[in-house]
Structure 1
Amino acid sequence: MSEEISTTSTESEASAETLPAPTDRSSVGIALVLALGAFVALLDTTIVGVAMHSFTRYFDVSLADAQWASTAYLLAMSSVIPATGWAAQRFGATTTWIASLSVFLLGSLLCGAAWSLGSLITFRAVQGLGASMLFPLMRIIVVQVAGRAQMGRMMTMMSVPLLLAPVLGPVLGGTLIQEFSWRWAFFLNVPIVLAVIVLSARKIPNTKGEAPGRFDLPGLLTMGGGLAAAILGFSNLAKGTSPTGAPVLLPIAAGALLLVVHGVRAARSETPGVVDFSLFRDRAFTASTSITLLNNFGLYGVVVLVPLFFQQAGGKGPLGAGAIMMAQGAGTAVAVLLVGRVIDTKSNPRALVLVGLLLVGAGLGTFALTHSAEVNVLLLASLFAQGIGLALAAAPVMVTLYHSLPTTSVAAATTANAVSQQLGGAVGTTVVALLLQHYVYSAGGTAAEFGSVFWWALVFVALTAIPALFLPRGSSQQA
């Protein structure tokens, strides 16, 4: 049965070809609605990170216990991502998108009303279930609505939430918690998500496949369960648990076993499993997915390390660090205005990504070499360049993923890429946390000590350039 999810999900975009070509105005409107939905989910994650110490005081628990509010969210999110393709096929991508937003909205309301840490953890899991499919679904919808001709501009807009939410989250979260309470970290979502639900129902057409197939529970359990177990192990490692401790080894081993079982089962079947491994025969897809996986390491080096650098080494508060990071947001905004149209005008995706990685690397190198966390023109210019580089490196990859794949493979490709992104995010977070523990937290947290971590982030950016060399140099080969 697991083989049927991917097989049928790859057909979920077939009927999208019959949709009328959208105008520029309608495409931009749809892209903004999708970006806003993704943005609020990512913003919620960063704000909850700021609220963690408030949880410890209000519920009178340890920080380790409070962190389960984040862990439950990640585990719930990871467990159902592999079912995205089937759900889009069975119910339609837009209907599934609205349903996911509704579950996320319910989880937000419940979290804001939580009366104990246990209830908060439970409701965060509900939130995670709602957020799980949002990011792959918005990309499936973009391909359905925009087609290949306008995909670059719309995908570039889709990259904005990923780049801006970590910058704005600490500032907004710190303000809300300071002026009101931690409950507003969740209540803030309510009006925004309600607006996105209404706008999605009005503006985004729904398209579903002709043969949804049967839901494959065993396939979802092996892939989704394996992914969630592995992420639990990496999360425990990031919290400081010994690499040889049972909370790390057992989940990672269980996750690896479940993923192997899924892979063996899929290999013995004549049809693809929940994740269609045959997609990796396509060079553009493999290169794009590899970049997605590796880019998480460098991405965390930019959006996590830099604000932390100004806070710990420079003595800035969340508001001050957030204001400084606006320089990076400005660079991203400039890139968004230009990159999408460049991608759509038959540009060279390989060159764009490599130039983007070069700009990100130059910015990280500047921070690695600095001996002071005082704000100056050079650091602000580096942040601006990083903002441009992040958009250049991210947006083309979201398009080249589908470069030589037929439209009927869009859902399967998006689901496989989302699984890779989720795993890469967990490993990237863990690696950065371990590097910070080794170089910064065990010492004094000076600018020089941060420099060592920035050098490692630069290494990850350089590694990301390797699969980028295998990206296509021309436009999409498939209609």
Structure 2
Amino acid sequence: MINANKKLKVSYFSIKREAINLQKQGSTALESVEQQADEKKLMWILMVGILAPLFDTTITNVAIDTLVRDFNTSVSTIQWVMTAYLLALAMVIPFSGWAVERFGGKPMWLFSLGMFLLGSVLCSLAWNVDSLIFFRTIQGIGGGLLMPIMQTLAVRASGGRNMGKKMATVALPALLGPILGPVVGGLIINHLSWRWIFFVNIPLCIVAIIMAWKGLPNEQRRTRTLRLDLLGLMLLSPAIVLIIYGLGEVSLSHGFGHAAVLVPVIAGLTLLAGFVVYAVRKGNEALLDVRLFRVRSFTVSAALLFLSGLTSYGAMLLLPLYFQQVRGESVLLSGLLLVPQGVGMLLTRSLAGKLTDQIGSRPVVLAGTLLTMLGTWPLTQLSGDTSYYYLSAALIVRGAGLGAVFLPVMASAYIGLSSKQIPHASSTTRIMQQIGGAFGVSVIAIILQNELNSVMSHDPAIVAVAFDHTFIWSIAFSTLALIPAALLPRIKR
């Protein structure tokens, strides 16, 4: 009887312990489901918020000729409508990391959207080219803050888990921009006033602000007294602006040796070197933590983001020029002909994110780079009457490769970083992309100009050869990217 009671008691406690364990597991599973739901909600809010600035750049680019005619001015003057936006965007990127830490992600996201909305409204009401250039600066301040803040909020929400999948989600607008932007811009320019290229931003921004106001979590700011590193800001922001401005003058000055290029670039590099020396001494109180470059995965990712300017941005300059200069197509049709590359990027987006989480970024980026080179090779065989079906197939392959490169690289940049380092990483990676893009466009533009000068002909078949040779250089730059790609991290089994 005693033994039976003992057995019953043991059985009772075993069942109770099991019930408690099951309750804990159920509670953990419920928390996990709720956390995943909150992360998805956050990603959608961020995606909607970033749509307007990503579409704005590509839409505005196709309106240059229309703005020249309507304002009765020169192309070089109208170019400042784009340049002012890019310089303002670059200027505020270093400020974004400190701002998120000091004021919190949600307030800064709302502030950035508000600035972009204000700039869009003012641009749509511009009465002359000077006012439009000034209002584009206001718009650029908002646009420059949005991207690094979005990356910081997305990475912090994920807690470093499934980074490939998270980057695949938040990067969707970045892939849609190049696809739909030129098409939307062409439709607006053909059928509506130029003011509508800014009007379209207004409803997007309003919806994004409402969603963020209601849906973004209120953070507890842990660094209310964090001081802005003014000296670091005075060194770094002008450095980035001068470098990007100088590189933007390359195509206008027909080379890197012109004073209009050398003076700002050298001045910018000098300020940048001064900031690095200063930041090393300042430590974690510096505007940007340069000690991030001690982390191999971050350094390699930053190098690849810079090189993407040569492999991606440069080629994006070549394709519309080929369609318009060699084939004589309109701006709208040129935009439509670029859609297959965007479709290719969409095709590999989810797979690249999933594989990055499963096998690491190294094999995915290496495969993506080789696929990009494969898709670019047909572009080195262009003629004056190359089949558009053939070009579309090549662009789908090229886009698939680009989609498999960008997402894993961005995910790798955050591996091994603390929560406090994430805003610094977001700002730094964005800076590398901006400078790399400006450098890539400048290099490709000069190579193309030299090739065009060498053929000295207006025959489309001969001019196409200049584009062929320039695309060969693009493949060579992709080959260069294989070196840092081989140094990316892989999943340890």
Give the alignment's TM-score, normalised by structure 2: 0.87
8 Å contact 1:174–1:319 — kept in the other structure? yes
Task: Measure the CA separation in 1 of the matches of 2:255 and 2:331.
Answer: 30
CA 398–206 in structure 1, closer or farther in 2 if over 3 Å, else same: farther
Residue type at the aligned position of 2:375: G
Task: Measure the CA separation in 2 of the matches of 1:58 and 1:51.
Answer: 11
Task: Measure the CA separation in 2 of the matches of 1:428 and 1:270.
Answer: 31
Task: Measure the CA separation in 2 of the matches of 1:35 and 1:440.
Answer: 40
1:416 has 2:420 as partner:
no
Task: Measure the CA separation in 1 of the matches of 2:75 and 2:309.
Answer: 25
- Specify the alignment match of 1:226 in structure 2: 239
1:362 has 2:342 as partner:
no
- Specify the alignment match of 2:39 in structure 1: 27
Name which of structure 1's ranges 399-408 and 388-397 shifts more when overlaid on structure 2: 399-408
- Specify the alignment match of 1:265 in structure 2: 278
- Specify the alignment match of 1:216 in structure 2: 229
> 1:9-52 CA distances to partner (integer Å, 9 max, x unpaired)?
xxxxxxxxxx9775555434432332333232122111211111
Task: Measure the CA separation in 2 of the matches of 1:30 and 1:447.
Answer: 46
Alignment of 1:31-430 (within 5 A): 31-207=43-219, 209-212=221-224, 213-240=226-253, 243-271=256-284, 273-344=286-357, 346-430=358-442
CA 339–245 in structure 1, closer or farther in 2 if over 3 Å, else same: closer
Residue type at the aligned position of 1:45: T
> 1:294-321 CA distances to partner (integer Å, 9 max, x unpaired)?
0111112443322332232223223323
- Specify the alignment match of 2:489 in structure 1: 472
> Offset at 1:96?
0.8
> 1:390-442 CA distances to partner (integer Å, 9 max, x unpaired)?
11101111111111222331111111111111111111121122122222476
Name which of structure 1's ranges 432-441 and 350-359 shifts more when overlaid on structure 2: 432-441
Task: Measure the CA separation in 1 of the matches of 2:369 and 2:144.
Answer: 28
Question: Which one has a bigger Cα radius of gyration?
Answer: 2
8 Å contact 1:166–1:303 — kept in the other structure? no
Higher relative CO (CA 8 A, sep ≥ 6), structure 1 or 2? 1
8 Å contact 2:178–2:342 — kept in the other structure? no
> 1:70-116 CA distances to partner (integer Å, 9 max, x unpaired)?
11111111111101111000111222111111101100110110011
- Aligned pair count reads 457
8 Å contact 2:314–2:437 — kept in the other structure? no
> Offset at 1:134?
1.1
> 1:306-352 CA distances to partner (integer Å, 9 max, x unpaired)?
233223222322332333322222222221232323333x2231000
Task: Measure the CA separation in 2 of the matches of 1:36 and 1:434.
Answer: 36
> Offset at 1:53?
1.5
CA 246–304 in structure 1, closer or farther in 2 if over 3 Å, else same: closer
Partner SS, residue 211 of structure 1 = coil
What percentage of residue pairs aligned between the two structures are identical? 36
Partner SS, residue 282 of structure 2 = coil
8 Å contact 1:159–1:394 — kept in the other structure? no
> 1:93-149 CA distances to partner (integer Å, 9 max, x unpaired)?
222111111101100110110011110110000011111111111111111222233
CA 162–438 in structure 1, closer or farther in 2 if over 3 Å, else same: farther
Task: Measure the CA separation in 2 of the matches of 1:393 and 1:415.
Answer: 20
Residue type at the aligned position of 2:335: G
Partner SS, residue 171 of structure 2 = helix
> Offset at 1:193?
1.2
Residue type at the aligned position of 1:198: I
Task: Measure the CA separation in 2 of the matches of 1:201 and 1:465.
Answer: 43
Structure with greater proportional helix content: 2
CA 242–343 in structure 1, closer or farther in 2 if over 3 Å, else same: closer
Name which of structure 1's ranges 285-294 and 229-238 shifts more when overlaid on structure 2: 229-238
Name which of structure 1's ranges 33-42 and 221-230 shifts more when overlaid on structure 2: 33-42
Unaligned 5+ segments in structure 2 are 1-30
> Offset at 1:372?
4.5
CA RMSD after TM alignment: 2.2
Alignment of 1:440-451 (within 5 A): 440=452, 443-444=457-458, 446-451=463-468
CA 368–39 in structure 1, closer or farther in 2 if over 3 Å, else same: farther
Alignment of 1:12-23 (within 5 A): 23=35
Residue type at the aligned position of 2:210: V
> Offset at 1:270?
4.5
8 Å contact 1:287–1:470 — kept in the other structure? yes
Residue type at the aligned position of 2:287: V
Residue type at the aligned position of 2:146: L
1:453 has 2:465 as partner:
no
Partner SS, residue 407 of structure 1 = coil
